[in-house]
Structure 1
Amino acid sequence: MRHVGAAQMARLVDVPPQARPYYRALADAVRALIMDGRIPVRMRLPAERHLAQTLGVSRTTVTAAYDLLRERGYLESRQGSGSWTALPDPASTVDNPWLSTGADGLIQLHAAAPPAPSALREAMAEAVEDLPRYAMGNGYYPMGLPVLRERIAARYTARGVATRPEQILVTTGSQHAIQIVTGLLLGAGDPVLVESPTYPHAIDAARLRGARLVPVGISHEGWQLDLLTCAMRQSAARVAYLMPDFHNPTGALMDDATRAAVAGAARRHDTTLVIDETWSELALDEVPRTAPMAAFDTDSRIVSIGSASKLWWGGLRIGWVRTTAALARRLALHRASVDIASPVLEQLVVTRLFDRIEETRAERRRTLRASREALVAALREHLPGWDFTVPGGGGTLWVRLDEGSAVSLAEAAAGHGVRLAPGPWFGVEGTLEGYLRLPYTLAPPVLREAVARIATARERGPSGAARPPDSLAAMV
């Protein structure tokens, strides 16, 4: 194993003597070196005693810094073998913002989830009235309620893709759908192509199966077709998970020509396309009309996933899969090992909401536009150096910071009452350190207050004290 000496390490970290607390600044500096690639992963670090002597600090200080790096997953140690650099598993680190329930009193900017629309109350009342007619049976509908499958199929047909109810499997949310699909289609070691950044739980699902992740970069400008198809060919990807409709988190929208080309590449390279359409109904501006990816499917290799959570409400844990009738039945059999069927009442609520879909889309356009405008204005006022493109739909901004670490900023912001989702949560192996996802799914006054607090956290750090001019942001 390669190693870095104490003198080399001291030159690399360059921590200002006035940084307080020093051990946190030291840990932050080491972490930054790892994330920048200046210290490779699996590089043995100098012994605590030697580094302390070289830096002119106490051994306790260096020990505390190493302990903090171990806690955050950037350092691994073994008795008698020393300590070496590592990258944390984003799904298991203690500061994972996805584990927050909102009970901590922080403004929840880590979740892109709008509140329930006005149509929900009436739809719920009607669903309760519908429920008794289903109570004569056992309540298990492994494929989903027929009435809901009919509504979902009709919506696909209206969008230009002829669909029969037999092609629809109702799931307990889109995340559940991703788990079922990847669980059936992927095995250990199978290559799966994902965008970078992408939906974090899709990464988790692939890792759970032991699949090999093949990331392909995407920006707010969209997909580079040659890179995407080249990665598909070179990796022999068994599955590609893509979000062509107001991509989460960049907001990019894939045009029809690119959709057709991606579908063609999937045919040539025998790749199944798993298409996440969670944000597809949420165009906020006049954007080019696009067909669902399934419209370009000529050999039944596109599996589409949808959800009630963004258009309607996250508390309705209802999603769906559109595929062939045969694969839908196989997926229903596969799900039985962990989940027999989705809740009947929630399915009835979503059925009723489909009758009000245009009403809800119009309401979402009004509210999300206002929130997007407020977030953009607040960022330009308080953080003018941050770079982003305003998407034509969806619910998030993908922001590039002008300096510093998004993870460190997220930890500082938590000390000022805002919970953030930094870029590495959306990347593979801790990448995207300089990015932050900011949703505009909260009310405008809340977003304005959140941005003001983020700006304060950026300036003062987690403790509220002004940052030393040249010090690194503290790790918590």
Structure 2
Amino acid sequence: MPCDKWTELVDPISRLTGNQASNCDKLAHMTRGRIGARALRDLLGDWRSDAPAYESLSDRVRLLLLDGRISTGIRLPAERELAESLELSRTTVAAAYRRLREAGFAASVQGSGTTTQLPHGRPGLPAVTGTLIGFTHASLPATKLLSTVLDDELLDDYRGHFGTLGYDGIGQPELRAAIADWYGRRGLPTDPDQIVVTTGSQSAIFLAAKALVNRGDRVWAESPSYPNAYDALRDAGARLITTPVTVEDGWDLTSLEAVFQRSAPTVAYTMPDFQNPTGRSMSVHDRERFLEAAAAAGTIVIADEATSEMDIDRRAVLPPIGTLADAHGAEVVLIGSASKQIWGGLRIGWLRATPQLARRIATHRGSSDLAVPVFEQLVVSRLLPRSAEIAEERREQLRAGRETARTAIAELLPDWTFPPRLEGGLAAWVNLGAPVSSQLALAAHARGLLVAAGPRFGMDGAFERNLRIPIAADPENLQRGLEVIAELWPSVNRLARPEFESYAGTVA
């Protein structure tokens, strides 16, 4: 499709949703391995700091690479093109590109321009001081129950599979039965034939997207949302359209219904319970409105329930969204994960669909993997029946993390706003009060703290005022990490003060 036709088709939706992703530069980024100057400018956001312009520019591009907002192997805009877009001199852009090449984040080939890459070995972070602390993954250590099932009986069962080929495209029967029982206990009767086991929930999202999305299809997703889900949907060829979900108000159902009615997305991706990163859960009323809108538009819903068991003290008793689907005529594919409940080292996820759709999805796995490791499946099949015990253990861990983060932020970072109703989930979507999330993440990298900037969870540089703080982190590391941020905050926050506005518009 020609670029002008693409823009003509998508721009009305962009205006309705506030999503400005669909322009020619971004189309080129997706289809020809390059990113245009306007698209890069949007991703850069408020990139200037009190460092020289070429350093600030190269640092922000490096952060976009580390965050995954720009892929490796992408050709950056020509120096003159980017200089004009950013109102800089070509010398400044050339110096920024040279700094990226020297740090291993770019390479130049004569006739091909400057292409992004990551340095060999550890991905080129600045020299760090002290022990590395990671805030980029919202996940918990292994449940204490894991060691209780690693016994001789499990090993004997494992040995019993040695006579097989070890390849099973849908999952071991005992695990699919355990997953079906898990759904049954949650009020959703399920047959094992409805289950496809995958290597983690991300693999399940990827498989569902590959089976359900054709290149160019419109796909709805929340904003902000789980960034790897955005990536999987884009890889399947989706044209993403979004509507907001906020800490304060949850889902904007009015905008969602308008988008569904107008654009009839092929697929909709949602996290109805303890949404990542906001932590919000859909009310029963919102679940019903959402499903009605999807059914009316003929949209298949991919409901990611990877965090559904991460309840701390949610006051409402909410039915799983799958239990409401039939009453509203909606088709829902459910995504689940043992990696969040049990341990990230057990790469086990699954999806639940109708038997026919489950078989259709399973046929697409050959290009990504052929089967799921047998041993991990046997482990999970023994632990899922004890999910209530695991949920209680997680509840106490997450409560401790939430209170550590809430207290530390109130004491060390009083300008920040901690979510007033964080009833569960693995992270807090904190408002910084200033659009400096990327700059803060970059400064934290240099201090040995890995933080995903707010825009990683949105599109087109949005959410610079937000930072995801993982309450699943060890409380001691959580406290230390927030202390590092508190030390950096005064210098980073200066960039948002009015006296810096004139600087932001200068030409270097």
Q: TM-score category by the smaller chain?
A: 0.7 to 0.9
- Partner in structure 1 of residue 132 of structure 2: 106
Q: Aligned equivalents of 1:306 and 1:249: distance in 2?
A: 17
Per-residue displacement from partner, 1:57-115 (whole Å, max 9, x unpaired)? xx85564247669999xxxx9999x99xxxx9xxx8859xx9799x9852110110111
CA distance in 1, matches of 2:440, 2:216: 35
Q: State whether structure 2 residue 227 is matched by structure 1 residue 197.
A: no
Change in CA separation of 1:133 and 1:62 when aligned onto 2, cut-off 3 Å: closer
1:299-319 per-residue CA deviation (whole Å, 9 max, x = no partner) reads 461000000111111111000
For the residue of structure 1 that corresponds to 2:55, the secondary structure is: helix
Q: Which residue of 2 aligns with 1:148?
A: 175
**Counterpart residue type for residue 235 of structure 1:** S
- What percent identity do the matched residue pairs reach? 41
Task: State the distance in 2 between where 1:14 and 1:160 align.
Answer: 49
The 10-residue stretch of structure 1 (453-462 or 392-401) with the greater mean CA deviation from structure 2: 453-462
Task: Tell me which moved more, 381-390 or 19-28.
Answer: 19-28
- Residue matched to 1:277: 305
Cα distance change, pair 45–325 in 1 and its aligned pair in 2 (3 A): closer
Q: CA separation of 1:249/1:71 partners in 2, compared to 1, >3 Å: closer, same or farther?
A: farther
CA contact (8 A) 2:146 2:383 kept: yes
Name stretches of at least 5 consecutive residues in structure 2 with no aligned partner: 1-23, 25-36, 38-45, 63-76
- Name whichever of 358-367 and 127-136 sits farther off: 127-136
Shift in Å, 1:227: 1.2
**2:188 pairs with one of 155, 161, 165:** 161
Tell me which amino acid in the other structure corresponds to 1:190: D
What is residue 436 of structure 1 aligned with on the other side? Answer: 467
Residues 399 and 437, structure 1, Cα contact 8 Å, conserved in 2: yes
2:448 matched to 1:417?
yes
Q: Please name the residue that 1:355 is paired with.
A: 385
Structure 1 residue corresponding to 2:407, chosen from 361, 377, 382: 377
CA shift for structure 1 position 379: 0.9
Task: Give the secondary structure class of the aligned counterpart of 1:315.
Answer: coil
One-letter code aligned to 2:369:
D
1:265 aligns with 2:296: no
Residue pair 1:300, 1:323 contacting (<8 A) in 2 also: no
The one-letter amino acid of 2:456's match is: W
CA 1:14–1:268: 2 relative to 1, 3 Å: closer
The alpha carbon displacement at 1:292 in A equals 1.1
> Given residue 191 of structure 2, which amino acid in structure 1 is its aligned partner?
R
Could you list the per-position Cα deviations for residues 8-57 of structure 1 after superposition, in whole angstroms to 9, with x for gaps in the alignment? Answer: xxxxx9989xx4445435778999xxxxxxxxx99956569x956xxxxx
TM-score (norm 1): 0.80
Q: CA RMSD in A?
A: 3.9
Greater fraction helix: 2
Q: Structure 1, residues 409-436: CA drift from partner, whole Å, max 9, x if none? A: 1010011121001111111232222211
Do the aligned residues in 1 keep the contact of 2:402 with 2:471 (CA within 8 Å)?
Answer: yes
Partners of 2:371 and 2:294 lie apart in 1 by: 31
Q: Partner residue of 1:323? A: 353
With normalisation by structure 2, the TM-score equals 0.76
Query: Which residue of the partner structure matches residue 184 of structure 1?
Result: 211
**In structure 2, what is the Cα distance between the partners aligned to 1:306 and 1:147?**
16
Task: Give a deviation string over 1:278-336, Cα, whole Å, max 9, x none.
Answer: 00011100421111111112246100000011111111100010110111111122213
CA distance in structure 1 between the partners assigned to 2:441 and 2:61 by the alignment: 18
Task: Please give the alpha-carbon distance, in whole angstroms, between the structure 2 residues aligned to 1:175 and 1:112.
Answer: 14
Shift of 1:458: 2.2
Q: 2:318 and 2:185 mapped to 1: Cα distance?
A: 13
AA at the equivalent of 1:427: G
Please, which of 429, 436, 441 is the counterpart of residue 398 of structure 1? 429
Aligned to 1:120: 146
Contact residue 214 and residue 235 of structure 1 kept, 8 A: no
The Cα shift of 1:198 comes to 0.7
What is aligned with 2:323? 295
- Secondary structure in 1 aligned to 2:340? coil
The yes-or-no answer on 1:455 pairing with 2:486 is yes
For 1:218, give the aligned amino acid.
Answer: V
Amino acid at match of 1:117: T
Partner of 1:10: none
Do the aligned partners of residues 134 and 400 (structure 1) sit closer, same or farther apart at CA in structure 2, a change above 3 Å counting? same
Segments of 5+ residues of structure 1 without an aligned counterpart are 5-12, 32-40, 53-58
Given that residues 47 and 56 in structure 2 are in contact (C-alpha distance below 8 angstroms), is that contact kept between their aligned partners in structure 1?
A: no
User: What's the counterpart of residue 38 of structure 1?
Assistant: none
Whole-Å Cα distance in 1 between the matches of residues 179 and 231 of structure 2?
27
Contact 2:314 2:424 in 1 (8 A): no
Provide Cα deviations, 1:326-348, integer angstroms capped at 9, x if missing partner: 11111122213332211110001
1:255 matches 2:283 = yes
Write the distance in 1 (CA, Å) between the matches of 2:299 and 2:496: 52
Tell me how far apart the structure 2 counterparts of residues 246 and 47 of structure 1 sit (CA, whole Å): 43
Kept after mapping to 1: 8 A contact 2:132/2:448: yes
1:366 aligns with 2:396: yes
- CA distance in 1: counterparts of 2:61 and 2:199, whole angstroms: 42
Which amino acid counterpart does residue 200 of structure 2 have in structure 1? G
- Distance between the aligned counterparts of 2:301 and 2:61, measured in 1? 39
Superposed counterparts of 1:454-473, under 5 Å: 454-460=485-491
